[in-house]
Each structure stands twice: as structure tokens, then as C-alpha cells.
Amino acid sequence: MATDIIMPQLGESIAEGTIIKWMIPPGGRIEKDQPLLEVETDKVSLEIPSPATGVLSQVLVQAGQTVPIGTLLGRLESEQPSTGVINRVGGVVVRPMEPSAAGPDHYSPAVRQLAKEHGVDLSQVTGTGAGGRVTKKDVLDYVARRNVTPTQPSPLEGEGKGGGAAGEEILPLTPMRKTIAERMVKSRQTSAHVATFFETDFSAIVKFREGRTLTYLPFVISAVTRAIKDVPVLNSSWGDQGIIIKKDIHMGIAVALEDGLLVPVVRHADRKGLQQLGREVADLAERSRTKKLNPEEVQGGTFTITNHGGFGSLFSTPIINQPQIAILGVGAVQKRAVVVNDAIAIRPMCYLSLSFDHRVIDGATADRFMTKVKQYLEQSEWEKFL
């Protein structure tokens, strides 16, 4: 019995996805629930499990193509009765969709928004998606071609590896890298970025961690959630009618991947102790790197922390994760000579940075928040927060 493989609905606001790779070749056999293909959207990259045991009989959408949700990607000759369910991702049941009667002129909301931002007439863009549909990649490629000014190559210049000039190599942009680039530029254009820096003594944390497997990050999350309750405007977003204060604290944690960055979210971080925070952060980070996250796990964050110190960095001015209004950077914890009670002492010190949106808060508010974060990190009564 043949089972259709459909591009699944990977989130309410997601209209399309890009095929990164098929895990098995056409004609290959696969077991039920084994990874069948890898899909990437503008929010998450994840592996889609096989809905049945069988043989991949057809591949209709190749790696690198971006298609709308509901598109037929391939067919599986299954070895067991099919229940009609095509795929499950994050609890979403996906079934075949009827072909759209609108034809290639039916553009997804994401494509329309991207075209609007770049001033593109979609009627001039050739679609490479299913049925000639225009995808986000088509729009970005059109913009790239439009912005290139032809130049006469020098007689001394030749083609290098990957199509570049002699001595150069061009690394093709992955969908994730394109999305990151688009979002970072848009964030800079949207928010009035300002940064402030504080130095914090981690002595109490270092002492408390002795004999425990906790990293520094759960302590930072705990301190930040308490500081947010003291200064709630840090947990907000900009709106046309005013500043929108978020009542729930959903902490985004930046996770570095080999080819990009994801920000999974710890829900209701203020309600969780250090040990639970540590377990959830480790789980989210691992599943980010193995592409096992569900789409909803990277949505709904209200504040973000990025631990750039894990790579040895001391200072950073991270870009705000829209539509949030602030992001906290955590530098490496290093022993330094500091003045304590008019004497020189060696203490484990850490630089914290806060990039904030000056449209929403001023420097005094940002510094008041950071003072609270510093105070909570330096206090020694961590037992009650386990």
C-alpha cells in the first residue's frame, strides 16, 4: 500500500518548508518512525519520521527545494496497513491537501511579506516550487540578481573554486543562514539597539556548584527571572497601541549549531528550580543539535539569554531576538584580581551584557534591571532555589 509523504504543518505561522535532505535514497527501505527526511523552516530544522515501514518508491521534491505545506514530497510503499495519517510532527496530524485552484499566483503570507520588504513585484519572479509556486528562496534569489551590477572581469582574474575569483571560494548559503541574515538585519532596522555591561562575582555560585553537575546557565536564568519580576517591562514587546507586558516568562536560550543558531524556549522559567532548569536546558540544546525539536519549542519566547562565554568570549553585544525588547549576553567566568574591602582578591568574575530596545526602555531602567540580576547572582542562598 502506498503512503503519501506530505510537507507537514510545522507551526501556525509557517507556510512553507525547505527539503534539506532525504535520509535514504529512492528504493531504500526504512523502518517506521526512523528519520525519513530533514526539513527546515524559518523557525526550526527537524527530522521527519517515516509514517510506516516500507520502501521509498518516489521522491517528487528534491533536496534544496522550498515548497508550501501540504505539498506531496514523495511516496512510500508501506509493508503495513495505512490508517490514512500521513505524518505527525509535534502532535500535528497532517493529511493530503487538495491542489489549490489559485495556481502559481497564489502566494503564501511569508512570500508576500518578504516581497514587500524588498520591493519585489511577484509577477516578475519565476517560481520553482510545486506547480510553479513562488517560494521565499525564489524571492531572495531574485533580489540577489537584481542587486548585482555586472562588471567586466580583469584579464588576470579567473574562476576559483565554487565560482569565485582566483584564490576565493564561495560557500553556498544554507536556508538557515539566509534566515538568520534576514532576521538580524531586520532586528537592527526595527529596534534602537543600545548595550550596557556589568561585572559580576560568581564566587557564591562556584562554591554552591561544588559536588553538583549544574552549569552556570541555570543560575543566570533564575536570577534573570527574578529580576524580570522586579522590572516587568523587560519582559515585553513593542506594539502600535503601546508596550505589551508579557505576564508569563518564557526564556529563550540561544544554542549554537554547526551551521547556524536556534533559540529554544524554556516555558514558565520562573516557576522552575535550578535542577529542573538544568535538565530542560540540556535537553533542548541536545535536541536542537540533533534536529529533534518540535516547532512550538522555538516559539513564544519573551526574553533571551545567549551564553557566548562558553567559547571563551568575554564581551558581546548580541542582537535582539524580535519581537522581544532585550537579550542578555553571558561572558566566560574567569578568575581575576579585584578589589574587595580595600584589598586585592582573586575572584571568579563574569561580564554580563544587555542589549535593549531604546524605544521601550531607557538606560536607567536597563541598569536597574542589570543591578538586580547582579545582586541575585552574587547572593549565597542558593539552596532554596534548587
CATH superfamily of 192-385: Chloramphenicol acetyltransferase-like domain (3.30.559.10)
193, 240, 358, 367: the catalytic one is 358
Q: Per residue in 108-120, pLDDT tens?
A: 767 777 787 788 8
Residue range 38-62, pLDDT digits in tens = 888 766 778 888 888 888 888 888 8
The predicted-structure confidence for 311-329, as pLDDT tens digits, reads as follows 899 999 999 999 999 999 9
Domains 2-97 and 192-385 share a fold: no
Compute the distance between CA of residue 279 and CA of residue 269 in angstroms, rounded to an integer: 12
Active site residue 106: no
Sheet order of strands, 72-78 included: 2-6, 72-78, 54-59, 29-30
Q: Is 259 marked active-site? A: no
Tell me the domain boundaries of the chain: 2-97, 100-146, 192-385
Least confident of 98-112, 239-253, 372-386: 98-112
Domain 100-146 part of CATH 3.40.50.10860: no
The DSSP call for residue 162 is: G
Assess if CATH 3.30.1490.190 describes domain 2-97.
no
Phi/psi at 208 (nearest 5 deg)?
-70, -30
Helix, strand, coil shares of the chain, percent, nearest 5, are 30, 30, 40
Which stretches does DSSP call E strand in 12-86?
Answer: 16-22, 29-30, 35-40, 45-49, 54-59, 66-68, 72-78
Least confident range of 162-171, 330-339, 376-385: 162-171
248, 250, 362, 367: the catalytic one is 362
Q: What is the pLDDT at residue 163?
A: 57
pLDDT in tens, 258-267: 878 889 999 9
Would you put residue 274 in left (φ > 0), alpha (ψ -120 to 50) or beta?
A: alpha
* Cβ–Cβ < 8 Å for 139, 120: yes
